Amino acid sequence: SYELTQPPSVSVSPGQTASITCSGDRLGDKYGCWYQQKPGQSPVLVIYENNKRPSGIPERFSGSNSGNTATLTISGTQATDEADYYCQAWDSSTACVFGGGTKLTVL
């Protein structure tokens, strides 16, 4: 079955750039997307089709996907960006796959 791997945690200082990676076999051949989940809340889509932002998502959120790695980048990170982030892809054999999630700490 297809798997996506994320680092368990990433730390960033306010105003700096945070990068969260998601690795999977030939992930660049698929489309990656990213969700933000704050405690007690439902996930929110922040990036789809590798690098597109839904309406209402700040421009500081961006994405890329190449080779075996998709990356979520948050520029000028704010305290409100502290959350869990999940990557997701759709595989022909497994259907939907989520990464294990990354806890972003802004300190």
Partner 1 sequence: EVQLVETGGGLIQPGGSLRLSCAASGFTVSRNYMNWVRQAPGKGLEWVSVIYSGGTTYYGDSVKGRFTISRDNSKNTLYLQMNSLRAEDTAVYYCARALGSSSCIYFDYWGQGILVTVSS
- Per CB under 8 A, residues contacting partner 1 are 1, 30-31, 33, 35, 37, 42-45, 48-49, 54, 84, 86, 88-92, 95-101
Place of tokens 């700096």: 16
- Measured from the CB atom, the residue of 58 and 100 that comes closer to partner 1 is 100
- Smallest gap from Cβ 15 to partner 1, in A, equals 28
| C-beta closer to partner 1: residue 36 or 77 | 36
Q: Decide: 4 and 22 in contact? Cβ < 8 Å.
A: yes
The C-alpha atoms of residue 70 and residue 73 are separated, in whole angstroms, by: 10
The answer to whether 98 touches 1, Cβ cutoff 8 Å, is no
CB of 84 to partner 1, least distance (A): 8
Taking alpha carbons only, the member of 7, 8, 22, 9 closest to residue 87 is: 22
Query: CB-wise, 79 or 96, nearer to partner 1?
Result: 96
